[in-house]
């Protein structure tokens, strides 16, 4: 039975959204498999016997594999590999042989192609010791793949490093398709499928807004979100109901990190118009439109350092950047990553970047980067802990551009670092290719203080009337020279006390 690739592609993307590239790659590899078994027998020795779908838990690997198998119109079987193991000697091997033999027998030797989905295929190769059951199962798996040329195997794994190279060599499962649901557009594609039954939710504007708010959500997280909405509101949910529910669902793949970034937009930051324009130009635009840079054969920036005195708006600016990009974001307090145990800090850094790559495109927000990456040569410990941490950080930053299975133009990991002590940060971190962009903030001048006060006074109904009294605002501006974050507290004080008490208590 021949597969109609165009129709199959359309059928799959109607059920599995946001990973169209992966669908296209999967069908392309199946076409290569068919070519090797029917069209040109000379190609058979190097034609793939299947593919491996790799990605974090909940990204949609099994969903894609099963939908592909069903939409292909071929005989198929889905097997959860951990279920193949039994305590009785020889029973595990029999169960694996039955997977291939059973699906082959079902075809009545008609010569039709068949599809076998092996979930968590990595468990079949969990040990390198030849006397273990895992080793025997892995050897048997290789034999089954080699002797069942009409069976197209789709393996799934969230631990690609645990899959031996022998299984991934040419002629076997030699293609790894990376499944990732990174940006808001991909999440929106998934949500359009899941929210079709909610008549009061627009399939365009509302879904796009929900997708932008759902930072770091996998397909499984989005399914959990929609299930909660349905259980709470049935089919009468509105976009506002879904947006409120988003706050109650924590992204599972980022559960060990802080991924809930405060909802701060550039419009919420006052007195930094020129700085915001510069950040938009040097950071946001290159990340939103990297193809423009590559047309000029110039790589977009990989990171940015935002520095300035405490309270000048550095962290708010970082949050605004992350929200503007509407991609996955991880907030890291760099000072908390240092450990007294030798090697633990380096391990934490490697794990952080590994998770960011899996969640790419992703923004890593490092607060107090100076605590994690001070100048090398200043460490006063015999283990040179600081030097080793900086070296580990540099290695990770130099290596985060490549990501298996992703197209060259795909965005990866962007690092935003914040510090009030830029002179302490190791110079190697500030070189091109690492933290390329440097944005400095200073204490606000009179004009900026007026913009900050006006902005915050407008936000508080109890103080909005004060803006009519220009003399009062000017008086505050005059008396707050050198102020930074304290300016934000003044409207709160004004709302709670009378003007005279505020002037006497807060502005002296």
Give 461-476 pLDDT, tens digit per residue: 666 666 666 677 888 8
How many other CB atoms are found less than 10 A from the CB of residue 87?
7
Residue 103: per-residue pLDDT = 60
Residue 409: per-residue pLDDT = 39
Separation CA 10–CA 463 (nearest Å): 56
Query: Are residues 351 and 411 located together in one domain of the fold?
Result: yes
| 410: pLDDT strictly greater than 50 | no
How many other CB atoms are found less than 10 A from the CB of residue 308?
20
Q: CATH no. for residue 408?
A: 3.40.50.300
- Given the structure tokens 């605002």, which residue do they identify? 473
Q: Residues near 341 by Cβ (< 8 Å), separated by ≥ 6? A: none
Which residues is 367 bridged to in the sheet?
Answer: 333
Residue 405: per-residue pLDDT = 41
| 293: pLDDT strictly greater than 70 | yes
Residue 104: per-residue pLDDT = 54
In a 13 Å sphere around the CA of 142, the CA atoms on its Cβ side amount to: 15
Query: Are residues 394 and 494 located together in one domain of the fold?
Result: no
Sign of CA dihedral 215, 221, 223, 226: negative
Task: Give tens-digit pLDDT for 428-438.
Answer: 999 988 999 99
Element (H, E) at 52: strand 50-54
Question: CA nearest 281: which of 321, 228, 328?
Answer: 321
| 24: pLDDT strictly greater than 80 | yes
451 is a domain residue: yes
Sheet holding 437-440, edge to edge: 328-333, 362-367, 413-419, 303-307, 437-440
Separation CA 134–CA 483 (nearest Å): 65
Sheet holding 151-157, edge to edge: 75-80, 114-119, 151-157, 50-54, 175-178
Contact 56, 358 (CB under 8 A): yes
Higher model confidence: residue 403 or residue 488? 488
Residue 100: per-residue pLDDT = 85
Q: How confident is the model at residue 128 (pLDDT cuts 50, 70, 90)?
A: low
Query: Are residues 92 and 141 located together in one domain of the fold?
Result: yes
Contact 187, 211 (CB under 8 A): yes
| Summary mean pLDDT of the chain | 82
Separation CA 246–CA 229 (nearest Å): 9
Question: CA nearest 338: which of 312, 368, 365, 307?
Answer: 368
Q: CATH no. for residue 207?
A: 1.10.8
Residue 402: per-residue pLDDT = 45
| 424: pLDDT strictly greater than 90 | yes
Q: For the chain, what percent of residues have pLDDT higher than 90?
A: 29
Query: Are residues 411 and 289 located together in one domain of the fold?
Result: yes
Higher model confidence: residue 206 or residue 466? 206
Residue 337: per-residue pLDDT = 83
Max Cα-Cα span within the chain: 94
Separation CA 408–CA 405 (nearest Å): 9
450 is a domain residue: yes
Query: Are residues 240 and 308 located together in one domain of the fold?
Result: no
| 125: pLDDT strictly greater than 90 | no
Residue 463: per-residue pLDDT = 65
261 is a domain residue: no
Q: Which of 403, 424, 440 is at the close of a domain? A: 440
Residue 321: per-residue pLDDT = 92
Q: How confident is the model at residue 407 (pLDDT cuts 50, 70, 90)?
A: very low
Query: Are residues 203 and 283 located together in one domain of the fold?
Result: no
Separation CA 49–CA 389 (nearest Å): 43
Q: Which of 202, 232, 254 is at the close of a domain? A: 254
Joined together, the tokens standing for residue 461 give 């109904």
431 is a domain residue: yes
105 is a domain residue: yes
Residue 403: per-residue pLDDT = 45
Residue 467: per-residue pLDDT = 66
Q: Residues near 171 by Cβ (< 8 Å), separated by ≥ 6? A: 45, 46, 47, 48, 49
Task: Give tens-digit pLDDT for 174-198.
Answer: 899 999 876 788 899 999 998 887 8
Sign of CA dihedral 331, 333, 338, 339: negative
Q: E-assigned strands of 199-327? A: 303-307
Query: Are residues 465 and 394 located together in one domain of the fold?
Result: no
| 408: pLDDT strictly greater than 80 | no
Q: For the chain, what percent of residues have pLDDT higher than 70?
A: 84
Query: Are residues 147 and 281 located together in one domain of the fold?
Result: no
405 is a domain residue: yes
Which residues is 305 bridged to in the sheet?
Answer: 417, 438
Query: Are residues 456 and 323 located together in one domain of the fold?
Result: no
Distance of CA 286 to the CA centre of its chain: 18
Strands 328-333 and 362-367: parallel
Name the pTM for this structure.
0.69
171 is a domain residue: yes
DSSP sequence for 327-377 = BEEEEEEGGGG--SSTTHHHHHHHHHHHHHHHT-SEEEEEESHHHHSBPTT
In the 8-state DSSP scheme, what is residue 417?
E
Q: Which of 254, 281, 299 is at the close of a domain? A: 254
Cis peptide before 339 (omega within 30 of 0): no
Residue 14, classed as helix, strand or coil, is helix
Query: Are residues 436 and 450 located together in one domain of the fold?
Result: no
Task: Summarize the confidence of residues 78-83 as an average pLDDT.
Answer: 92
Contact 207, 214 (CB under 8 A): no
Higher model confidence: residue 264 or residue 204? 264
Distance of CA 490 to the CA centre of its chain: 38
Separation CA 280–CA 277 (nearest Å): 5
260 is a domain residue: no
| Residue-range definition of the domain harbouring residue 380 | 266-440
| 44: pLDDT strictly greater than 50 | yes
Joined together, the tokens standing for residue 403 give 């990501």
Task: Summarize the confidence of residues 487-496 as an average pLDDT.
Answer: 71
Sign of CA dihedral 268, 274, 279, 285: positive
Joined together, the tokens standing for residue 86 give 């039994």
Q: How confident is the model at residue 274 (pLDDT cuts 50, 70, 90)?
A: very high
- Domain tally, the chain: 4
Separation CA 218–CA 226 (nearest Å): 12
| 212: pLDDT strictly greater than 60 | yes
Higher model confidence: residue 435 or residue 362? 435
In a 13 Å sphere around the CA of 356, the CA atoms on its Cβ side amount to: 28
Residue 35: per-residue pLDDT = 77
Task: Summarize the confidence of residues 233-258 as an average pLDDT.
Answer: 80
Query: Are residues 15 and 163 located together in one domain of the fold?
Result: yes
In a 13 Å sphere around the CA of 206, the CA atoms on its Cβ side amount to: 18
Contact 476, 507 (CB under 8 A): yes
Joined together, the tokens standing for residue 51 give 């593919």
Query: Are residues 205 and 322 located together in one domain of the fold?
Result: no
| 66: pLDDT strictly greater than 90 | yes
Q: How confident is the model at residue 126 (pLDDT cuts 50, 70, 90)?
A: low
Separation CA 276–CA 265 (nearest Å): 11
Residue 470: per-residue pLDDT = 64
């Amino acid at each position: 039975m021949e597969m109609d690739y165009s129709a199959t592609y359309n059928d799959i993307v109607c059920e599995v959204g946001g990973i169209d590239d992966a669908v296209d790659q999967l069908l392309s590899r199946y076409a290569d498999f068919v070519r090797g078994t029917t069209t040109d027998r000379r190609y058979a020795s190097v034609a793939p016997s299947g593919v491996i779908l790799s990605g974090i838990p909940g990204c949609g690997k099994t969903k894609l594999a099963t939908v592909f198998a069903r939409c292909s119109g071929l005989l198929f079987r889905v097997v959860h590999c951990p279920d193949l193991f039994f305590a009785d000697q020889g029973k595990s091997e029999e169960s694996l042989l039955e997977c291939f033999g059973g699906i082959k027998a079902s075809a009545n030797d008609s010569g039709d192609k068949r599809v076998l989905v092996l979930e968590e295929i990595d468990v079949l190769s969990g040990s390198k010791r030849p006397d273990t059951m895992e080793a025997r199962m892995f050897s048997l798996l290789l034999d089954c793949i080699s002797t069942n040329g009409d069976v197209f195997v789709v393996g799934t794994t969230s631990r690609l490093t645990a899959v031996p190279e022998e299984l991934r060599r040419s002629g076997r499962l030699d293609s790894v398709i990376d499944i990732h649901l990174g940006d808001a557009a991909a999440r929106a594609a998934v949500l359009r499928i899941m929210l079709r039954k909610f008549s009061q939710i627009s399939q365009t504007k509302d879904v796009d807004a929900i997708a932008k708010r759902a930072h770091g959500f996998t397909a499984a997280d989005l399914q959990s979100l929609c299930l909660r909405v349905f259980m709470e509101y049935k089919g009468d949910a509105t976009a506002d109901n879904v947006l409120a529910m988003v706050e109650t669902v924590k992204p599972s793949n980022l559960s060990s990190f802080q991924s809930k970034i405060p909802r701060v937009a550039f419009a919420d930051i006052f007195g930094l118009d020129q700085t915001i324009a510069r950040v938009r130009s040097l950071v946001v635009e290159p990340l939103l439109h990297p193809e423009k840079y590559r047309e000029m054969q110039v790589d977009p920036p990989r990171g940015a350092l935002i520095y300035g005195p405490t309270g000048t708006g550095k962290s708010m600016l970082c949050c605004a950047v992350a929200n503007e990009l509407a991609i996955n974001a991880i907030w890291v307090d760099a000072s908390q990553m240092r450990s007294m145990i030798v090697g633990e800090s380096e391990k934490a850094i490697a794990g952080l970047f590994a998770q960011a790559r899996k969640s790419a495109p992703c923004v890593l927000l490092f607060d107090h980067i100076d605590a994690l990456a001070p100048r090398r040569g200043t460490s006063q410990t015999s283990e040179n802990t600081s030097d080793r941490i900086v070296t580990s950080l540099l290695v990770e930053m130099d290596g985060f551009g490549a990501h298996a299975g992703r197209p060259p133009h795909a965005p990866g990991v962007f690092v935003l670092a914040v510090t009030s002590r830029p002179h302490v940060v190791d110079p190697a971190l500030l070189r091109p290719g690492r933290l390329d962009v440097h944005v400095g903030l200073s204490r606000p001048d009179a004009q900026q203080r007026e913009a900050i006060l006006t902005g915050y006074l407008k936000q508080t109904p109890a103080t909005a009337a004060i803006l009519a009294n220009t003399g009062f605002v000017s008086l505050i501006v005059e008396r707050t020279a050198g102020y930074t974050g304290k300016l934000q507290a003044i409207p709160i004080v004004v709302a709670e006390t009378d003007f005279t008490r505020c002037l006497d208590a807060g502005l002296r």
